[in-house]
Amino acid sequence: MYWFGIQHWGIEPDIMTMAKAIANGLPLGNTITRPEIAASWKALTISTFGGNPVSTAAALATLEVLEEEAPPEKVAEKGRLLREGLDALWEKYPLIGEVRGKGLMLGVELVTDRQTKEPAVQATNAVLDAAKEAGLLIGKGGLFGNVLRIAPPLTVSEAEIHEGLEKLDRAFAQVQRTLS
């Protein structure tokens, strides 16, 4: 099990950067590199903030929570559960052209036809609206704006995954009825 997505492909990068979630919303970025590269850096900082003890404390607390509540093994299991649920929705709704992604970062592409893969942009917006009405907030993306972004927090519970899938199922059912 891995902490970083890139590790799934056996790649060891020279440098990795990360930000945003590392301090649970407070401003902080991070750079990780090999010792020989780090040793070559002569500046005192690369930070635009010049150091922030509050953000640093938040990052440490965030890492402690992740180690306790969301270690890679638990996140992988929750990702499998979410993927299985989304794959079941794919079986049920022809509007879903593809489910893709890894772990807890998944995309659900909506199409008018699975063979032609024509983007179902209006249906995507309708699913987003129906999900929102049900209390499920998800995003969208993709080149044509027809991919639902499913990315719950790493600390999501199994009950919350099931609840989210049920709400998404109802949203798809509602939209599918209008298309039939």
How many independent structural domains does the chain possess?
2
Q: What is the pLDDT of residue 180?
A: 74
Boundary (domain end) residue, out of 37, 69, 101: 69
Quick check: 43 pLDDT over 90? no
Confidence bin at 153 (pLDDT 50/70/90): very high
Tell me, what's the pLDDT at 51? 65
51 and 45 Cβ atoms separated by less than 8 Å:
yes
Which of 26, 46, 69 marks a domain boundary?
Answer: 69
Same domain, 105 and 162: yes
Q: Does 79 share its domain with 23? A: no
Structure confidence at residue 25 (pLDDT): 86
Write the DSSP assignment of the chain as a string of letters: --SSGGGGGT---SEEEEESGGGTTSS-EEEEE-HHHHHH--SS---SSS--HHHHHHHHHHHHHHHHH--HHHHHHHHHHHHHHHHHHHHH-TTEEEEEEETTEEEEEEBS-TTT--B-HHHHHHHHHHHHHTT---EEESTTS-EEEE---TT--HHHHHHHHHHHHHHHHHHHHHH-
Instruction: For Cα atoms 169, 154, 139, give the angle at the middle one, nearest 5 degrees.
Output: 45
Q: Last residue of some domain: 21, 38, 69?
A: 69
More confident residue, 38 or 109: 109
Give Dmax (Cα) for the chain: 64
Mean pLDDT for the stretch of residues 23-48: 84
pLDDT digits (tens, 9 = 90+) for 86-133: 999 999 999 999 999 999 999 999 999 999 999 999 999 999 999 999
pLDDT at 45: 67
Angle at 107 between CA 101 and CA 111, to 5 degrees: 130
Do 39 and 93 fall within a single domain?
A: no
**pLDDT per position as a tens digit, 1-35:** 788 888 888 888 999 988 878 888 888 888 889 99
Structure tokens at 161: 């995954």
pTM: 0.86
pLDDT score, position 41: 84
Q: Under a CB-based contact definition with an 8 Å cutoff, are residues 127 and 111 in contact?
A: no
- Quote the domain boundaries for residue 49: 5-69
- Whether residue 123 is found in the same domain as residue 175: yes
Rounded to an integer, the average pLDDT of 171-177 is 96
